[in-house]
Structure formats: structure tokens, C-alpha cells
Structure 1
Amino acid sequence: MRNGLSLKWVISGSFLCLIAVVLVIYSKLLPEFTVRGLFYTASAMMEEEAQYFLRHYKQDPTTPTPHNYFYTSVIGKEALPQDVRELLTTSPSLSFGAVNIFGDLYSDDDDEPFQIILEQPLGDGKILYMYDIDHDKEAGGEVETPLSDAYFDQVIESVKFISLAVFVPALIIIALLVWWLVRPLGRLVQWSGTLKDPEALTGTRPGFSFKEFNMLADALAKSVEQVQAASEREGRLLRYTSHELRTPLAVLKATIELLALQSGGALPPSLQRIERSVMNMQLIAETLLWMSRERPEPLPEEDVDLSELVGDLIEKHRYLIGNRDIELSIDIHDGPCRLPPTACRIVIGNFLRNALQYAEEGTVEIRFKYPRLMIANHIRETGPQQESDDFGYGLGLQLMRELCAKLGWQIEVIREQQRFTVILDFTSGRGGESAS
């Protein structure tokens, strides 16, 4: 089972969300512009009627003011009804064209209707006030218009049908388009999962309908092929190096043992250094050989006494201290731990060797309480640009990181101003389980 969202559903959901947003915006804007359209009609009718009245008023001031079912008009503010005069003392809710609109335009309360008022100067200092009439308060209420209402309902139904007729086919087309685009992409993803098999690279690559997908498949296959080739070269190099080193190391080890027998068991200091180097190289060669395996076999675990192991490693590497004034501070928890002894000797020996070789005069601390081993040493003060490889933790640390990663151990390196600390955590240390 793959985790995460499917691209098909992401694209489909995005399109659907886009359509939903468009429909929401459309549904919000449609009433707004419908109301504005009605206001435009009212404004145009009242303005045209006012201009027509003004034309005749200039010829005959006794011309009757306009009056019909929808609106009426008077000359002078004093002739207005009391409620209309009070509205003129307030600010209009909306000024639209030639009219001012007072009241809540979008209120559902019929007791708070809005009022449309037009003011037309007549040129003689008088003003024509034209306002709409509210017939709901009259006896019998507003006149019904069943034929017009039926026509309007029919138009609304037609608009709904047209909207569905556009929306449903568009949704089907988008779904088909998404399926048409995502289907080859899904095949590409499925095919890319088979590239770990070398036969999939040499076999015939399936077509993916689109030129861009085919180009992406070619680039992906080429990249995987290059990575596999590099991995094979690296594995061969490790295997060849390890195998080729084991023979001269075995010869050197046998020669040193023979010289030790001839000298009565005690080797001169120069041969002792050679013996220690041969032992270290042999451990590194075995480590590289084990790490080069694609699925390394679990390392055998035994009850390891870390106190005894560290003490033995200190004696073997004490020569690295030389004439420096270095004090060893050792605090190791007694008791056996279930660990692979060879791997412990390689990793701990590497860290201890670097600590003793690159430590400044002072104290080298070695602390262990299962599952954490800490080795810390003082270093010389360096500039910020100096690499930590100067202290022996370059290639050796990288090699130990890879080894511990296969064993499931954790390494933490803390570099402070004049102190270098390495912490080895055996918490998940089950070599066989982690390596597999």
C-alpha cells in the first residue's frame, strides 16, 4: 500500500474545488447584479419621466406632476409625506444613476422596505421629488401579476436548466480529461517501481501516450541504470579491495608471528608497530567485505564485557600517547552486554585510536553505561574554516557511520571549542536484524 494522496484524486479534487468556487461566486454575484439591474430600470424610468415633465414644465408651470402605479411625484419638500421627508435627512444606502436609495436593500423583513427617491431641479428654484409607492400598506395589498410571475418563473427554470446543462457536461469532460492525463502517469509510476529489477531496464519500455511522459521514462530509466552501475562498481571495488588485501595481510601476519618465534616472543618496537597496523588493516578489510554484501549476514552476538574490551584496546593503542601528558578517565559500567564482539572492537577501536592520536594534553574521557558509550578528548583551538578531518574523524568516521547504519547503531559527534566528543548508542543494536 502506498502512503499519501493519489495524483488523480488531487487533480480531480482541484478541478471540482475550482468549479465549486466559481459556482459560489456566481451564486453570490447573481442576486447582486440582478438587484442592480432592477435599480437601473427604475432609475432610467424615473429619470426619463422627470426629464419629460421638466420639458413641459418650462412651457407650462401648471403641468401636473407625474404619477402612476409604481411612483408618484410632488414639487417641494413640504409636499412630501412625513416618512419620506425623514428619509431625506439621512444618508442614502446607495446612489444609483439619478436616484438615491434609502433603507436595507437585502433585508428579509417586509416591515423595513427600501425607498427610491429622485430629485430633479426645475430651474426656478423648485425641486421635483419623485418616489416609489408602497402598495403593501393599501387596502387589498399589492396587485398580483400572475401572468408576468409565471413568465418570470419560466425564465428562472430555463436558467437553472441551462446551468445544469453546462455544469454536468463540463464536469464529465473534466473527469475524462483528468482520467486521460493521469492514467498514463499512473502507469509510469507503476513501471518505475519495477526498475529495481535489472530485467526491466533491458526489456521493452511501454508507451505512455504523451511525448513528455516517454521522455521522463527514458530519463528515469537512464538515471536508474547509472545508479545501478555505480552501485555495482562500488560493490566490486569493495570486494576486490578486501579480497586483494587479505592475502598480503595474511602473509605479513604470518611473517610477524614467525619473527616473534625466532626472537623468543618479544618483538622490537618497529615490528610491534607493523603488527598493530596489520591487525587494524585486517579488521578494516573484514569490515569492508561484510559491508559490500547486498544482504550481509547477521553478525553473531555474544556477551561482551565492555570494560575488558576497552581496557584491551587502550593497551593496544597506548603507544599513540607517546610523550604527551594525557590522562585517561575511565568509567565503564560492569556487566556483559549482548553485542557482536568483532563490530564492537572495530568501531570502538576506531574512535579510541582517533581520540588518543589527536588529543591535546589533558584528559581523555571514556564513559559507558548501557546503551551509550562516550569518548571525549581535548583538541587544539582551530579556526572556523578548519575541517574536522584534521582530528582523524574524516574517512574513518564516514566508514564507521556506514557500519553502524547496517548494525542499527547511532553515532553522535559533538565538536565544541576545544573538545571533541563521540557518542555511540547501542539502543537498537541488533546487528542481524538491522542489517537485514
Structure 2
Amino acid sequence: MAEVRVKSLSEQLRWQLIVIGLALFVVFSALLTFYSFQSMENAGDSWIRMEARSLIKQLELNSQTPLPDSRTMQAYRSWQEIPESLRRHFDQENLVSGEVYEVSIEDRPGKEEILFLLYHNAPSVGELYILSQYDADLIDGLLEDISTTVIKQSLMLTGGMMLILFVLVFWLLKRTSEPMRLLSQWAEKLRQEEHADRVSFPIAELNTLAGQLREGVDKITEYNRREQQFLKHASHELRTPLATIQACLDTLNFQIKGPETKTIDRALKASMDMSRLTTALLWLARDSDRPIAREPFEIESFTVRMVNEHQHLIVGRQLHIDYQVHCEELNIEKDLFAIVFANLLRNACQHSSTGTIFLQIYADHLTISNPVSQEVSQESYADYSSETGFGLGLQLVERICRKLGWEFRYQRAPHQVTASIFWRT
């Protein structure tokens, strides 16, 4: 799917306005041109009507007013008075009073003329036939001059109207986008600060949106505060009994000899793991950007110890762990790496189906992949891993990686799950 280019509100509206403006400009120009040509087409009718109206007024005032008899305009009292050369172009029976009729005639070979006829019948003046005859070339030239002038004036008028409209709409757009810009600045301040000053925008919907943003941020802030407080308290409460347990186990390990020491060693290991876990939880709860000190360690022995400690999870199952180490030493945050490593390996052991767990360690990343059955979904794997034993779960692993600047990848294939951790060397 093609990536959609993200635009600002003002940019989106600006381009839409330009497109609409160009469309309106074309439509208005076409309409003005159309009506202008319609007016020019009716120019002859309008002129003869005007002349006829003037003549009729004169006849109403003085019935003896002589009728015009020039080449361009003649008037007759009866149909028979009209010369046959002109009369034959019209049908008397279809004439309607007040209507103008127009025909094109060839007065001389190659010489075209336009003939107009207006029939008027009123009691005040009686029947009246008014004819007007003009050279077609003269009319075409006149119409061409008029059309050129009309088109220029139409374009100038349309352009002026569109310019005024553009200026007005851009001004309104700027006035409208200003509150949006203020809302964006206020939201940025709200993101950076826990408590931003309350603001009042001139648009009611923006005030509603600002209130919803503030309410959402306040809820998230309060949730994070409670979570951090719980982690701090829980970690502090755990450290004292863990220290006591570890001291007692050290004493027992010193006093007891023989096969029982294996059990004590496992208990000591679990106690140290819990101690590292509480330290990590406190570090997450502090929300501090202070970096954790790196520690170089030999990775081969570290991996062997981790694998051996998780062998009890695959006892009696057709499952084994195959590991490959491609470097001699790592220089990273050892305690946090041990927590992440142990958690991912434990999840792989607990949720694997029959087969082999592949574990590979490089200088810049760790990869653990395990087979899974079709019934085990990605969601159940992630949710279950966060509730089993004292493992951090994939969500907290992701939080540790994010805070350390590591990259955590989780991939699901039809019959395999792969978790990877990448760090900067």
C-alpha cells in the first residue's frame, strides 16, 4: 500500500481552495462568455425593438408621423405594401405581434445580408410592419469587436472577483488556523510538562478538545505515578527479606557439606536473581536517564550457566536447547542483560512444542527462537509469559530495552517464535 503524504490542515485547505478557485474561475468565465454571446446574438433583436418602440411612441402622439423608409429601416402599414423581394422571405400567417424574425438573404451575388422583421398590432397604431436590413459582414465585424471587448471585461471581472474571494478566504483560513496552531503549541507544552496552564480558545470545539487532552494526560500521569510508586515500595519491601534469605543461605552453605549443597546453591542463585530483579524494578521506577555502568564478562560461561539453570524446565519433554556463541566477551549492562536473557529463555522453554530451541549470541545481538504449535497464539504467548514465575514478561523486557536504548524484536512465524535483542557495541 502506497504511503500517504501527511499534510497540515492549512496546507490541505490551501490546495483545496486553489483547486476550487480555479474551477470557479473556469465556470464563471464560461458562463459570462456564454451569456455575452447570447446577448450579442440578440443584439439585432434588441436594436430593432428599440427602434420600433420609438416609432410607436411617435405614432401614438401623432398618427401622421411619416414612416421611415431608408435602406437600413423601413416601416409599412400593410403586408401588401412590403416589396415582394422582402416579403417572400416571411410567412404572414405565422407572424406574432411583438416578435422579431431574422433571415439571411443574398441581395446580390456573393453579398449576404441580414433581414429583420418586427410585426406590431395594437389599437392605438393599428398594424405595423418594421423591417431592418444590414450587411452581414458589417454585423459580423461589429459582433467581433463587441465579443472581444466583452470577453476581456468578463475575464477582468472574473479575475477581480476571484482575487477578492481568494484574499478573503485566505484571511479567514489564517484566522481559523491560528487557534489550531495555539492548540498544537499548548499540547506540546502539555506533553513536556505534567501540568500546563489552562487556556481558552475562541472556538468552543477546541476548548472541548483541549479539555479532553488534559484529562487524558492527567489520567496517564496519575497511572504512571501510581505504578512507579508501587514498584518503588514493592522493591524496597523485597530487598530486606531477600537480604535476610541470602544471608541465611550463605550461612547454611558454609555449615552444610555434601549433596545438600546443590539445593542450597540453587536457592542462592534464585535469591541473587530476585535481588537483581528488584534492583531493575527500582531502576525502572526512578525514571532516571542516568546510564547504567557497563561490565565486561565472558559470554561462553555465562551462556552455559544460563542454559543449565533452565534445563529443569524441559525435563521429560522432547525438547532440547542448542546454543551458539559467536563472540568471546560482551561489554554491556550485565545484570539487566541477565534478567532479559533469563526471561526470554524461560519463556521459550515454557511455551515450546516438541523440537529444538535455538539460541545465538553475537557481539551486537541475541536471538532465541523456539517451535510452537498452531494452538499457541502470539497474544497468549506474550500474556502468559508475563504471568508465569517471577519473569519480567515480554512487556517489561521491552521497557528495559527501550530505556537502555536496545532494540527488541518479536516475530511470529507459522510454527516458530523468534525474540531478538540488539544493542550498541
Would the TM-score normalized by the shorter structure come out above 0.5? Answer: yes
Superposed, 1:38-77 pairs within 5 Å as 38-39=40-41, 64-66=87-89, 72-73=104-105
Q: CA shift at 1:174, angstroms? A: 2.4
Partner of 1:241 in structure 2? 234
Q: Distance in 2 between matches of 1:214 and 1:360?
A: 55
Q: CA shift at 1:271, angstroms? A: 4.3
Give the alignment partner of residue 406 of structure 1, picking from 385, 403, 406.
Answer: 403
Q: Helix, strand or coil: the match of 2:174?
A: helix
The AA in structure 1 aligned to 2:402 is A
Q: CA shift at 1:373, angstroms? A: 2.4
Give the alignment partner of residue 422 of structure 2, picking from 406, 421, 425.
Answer: 425
Partner of 2:28 in structure 1? 26
Partner of 1:107 in structure 2? none
Partner of 1:98 in structure 2? none
Q: Distance in 2 between matches of 1:223 and 1:374?
A: 37
Q: Distance in 2 between matches of 1:150 and 1:326?
A: 96
User: Structure 1 stretch 329-338 or stretch 265-274: which is displaced more?
Assistant: 265-274
Give the alignment partner of residue 365 of structure 1, picking from 343, 358, 364.
Answer: 358
Deviations 1:392-422 (A, max 9, x none): 3666112111111222223333444544332
State whether residues 71 and 133 of structure 1, in contact with CA within 8 Å, keep that contact through their aligned partners in structure 2.
Answer: no
Q: Distance in 2 between matches of 1:381 and 1:7?
A: 46
Residues 1:214 and 1:56: Cα distance change in structure 2 (over 3 Å): same
State whether residues 296 and 331 of structure 2, in contact with CA within 8 Å, keep that contact through their aligned partners in structure 1.
Answer: yes
Q: CA shift at 1:9, angstroms? A: 4.7
Partner of 2:130 in structure 1? none
Residues 1:279 and 1:43: Cα distance change in structure 2 (over 3 Å): farther
Superposed, 1:261-276 pairs within 5 Å as 261-264=254-257, 267=260, 271-276=264-269
Residues 1:43 and 1:289: Cα distance change in structure 2 (over 3 Å): farther
The AA in structure 2 aligned to 1:191 is W
Q: Distance in 1 between matches of 2:344 and 2:422?
A: 13
Residues 1:414 and 1:213: Cα distance change in structure 2 (over 3 Å): closer
The AA in structure 2 aligned to 1:65 is R
Q: Distance in 2 between matches of 1:303 and 1:7?
A: 52
Partner of 2:321 in structure 1? 328
User: Structure 1 stretch 352-361 or stretch 174-183: which is displaced more?
Assistant: 352-361
User: Structure 1 stretch 255-264 or stretch 373-382: which is displaced more?
Assistant: 373-382
Q: CA shift at 1:228, angstroms? A: 1.5
Partner of 2:343 in structure 1? 350
**Aligned pair 1:180/2:186, yes or no?**
no
Residues 1:344 and 1:175: Cα distance change in structure 2 (over 3 Å): same
Residues 1:171 and 1:402: Cα distance change in structure 2 (over 3 Å): same
Partner of 1:122 in structure 2? none
State whether residues 327 and 363 of structure 2, in contact with CA within 8 Å, keep that contact through their aligned partners in structure 1.
Answer: no
Q: Distance in 2 between matches of 1:215 and 1:284?
A: 44
Partner of 1:259 in structure 2? 252
Residues 1:190 and 1:345: Cα distance change in structure 2 (over 3 Å): same
State whether residues 327 and 364 of structure 1, in contact with CA within 8 Å, keep that contact through their aligned partners in structure 2.
Answer: yes
User: Structure 1 stretch 295-304 or stretch 241-250: which is displaced more?
Assistant: 295-304
User: Over the residues paired in the alignment, what is the CA RMSD in angstroms?
Assistant: 4.6
State whether residues 376 and 421 of structure 1, in contact with CA within 8 Å, keep that contact through their aligned partners in structure 2.
Answer: yes
The AA in structure 2 aligned to 1:174 is V
Q: Helix, strand or coil: the match of 1:328?
A: strand
Q: Distance in 2 between matches of 1:172 and 1:34?
A: 27
The AA in structure 1 aligned to 2:375 is T
**Aligned pair 1:397/2:390, yes or no?**
no
Partner of 1:278 in structure 2? 271
State whether residues 372 and 425 of structure 1, in contact with CA within 8 Å, keep that contact through their aligned partners in structure 2.
Answer: yes
**Aligned pair 1:289/2:282, yes or no?**
yes
Residues 1:81 and 1:225: Cα distance change in structure 2 (over 3 Å): farther
Partner of 1:194 in structure 2? 189
Aligned length, in residue pairs: 362
Residues 1:333 and 1:62: Cα distance change in structure 2 (over 3 Å): closer
Q: Distance in 1 between matches of 2:141 and 2:347?
A: 101
Any gaps of 5 or more consecutive residues in structure 2?
48-77, 91-101, 115-133
Any gaps of 5 or more consecutive residues in structure 1?
46-54, 85-115, 117-131, 137-141, 431-436
State whether residues 253 and 264 of structure 2, in contact with CA within 8 Å, keep that contact through their aligned partners in structure 1.
Answer: no
Q: CA shift at 1:81, angstroms? A: 8.8
The AA in structure 2 aligned to 1:320 is L
State whether residues 328 and 363 of structure 1, in contact with CA within 8 Å, keep that contact through their aligned partners in structure 2.
Answer: yes
State whether residues 290 and 296 of structure 1, in contact with CA within 8 Å, keep that contact through their aligned partners in structure 2.
Answer: no
Q: Distance in 1 between matches of 2:408 and 2:86?
A: 103
Deviations 1:54-82 (A, max 9, x none): x969x999874349xx95348xxxx9999
Q: CA shift at 1:34, angstroms? A: 3.6
Q: CA shift at 1:223, angstroms? A: 2.0
Q: CA shift at 1:23, angstroms? A: 0.9
The AA in structure 1 aligned to 2:419 is V
Q: Distance in 2 between matches of 1:253 and 1:302?
A: 23
State whether residues 66 and 72 of structure 1, in contact with CA within 8 Å, keep that contact through their aligned partners in structure 2.
Answer: no
Q: CA shift at 1:193, angstroms? A: 2.0
State whether residues 296 and 330 of structure 2, in contact with CA within 8 Å, keep that contact through their aligned partners in structure 1.
Answer: yes
Percent identity between the aligned chains? 23
Partner of 2:121 in structure 1? none
Q: Distance in 2 between matches of 1:188 and 1:27?
A: 40
**Aligned pair 1:300/2:300, yes or no?**
no
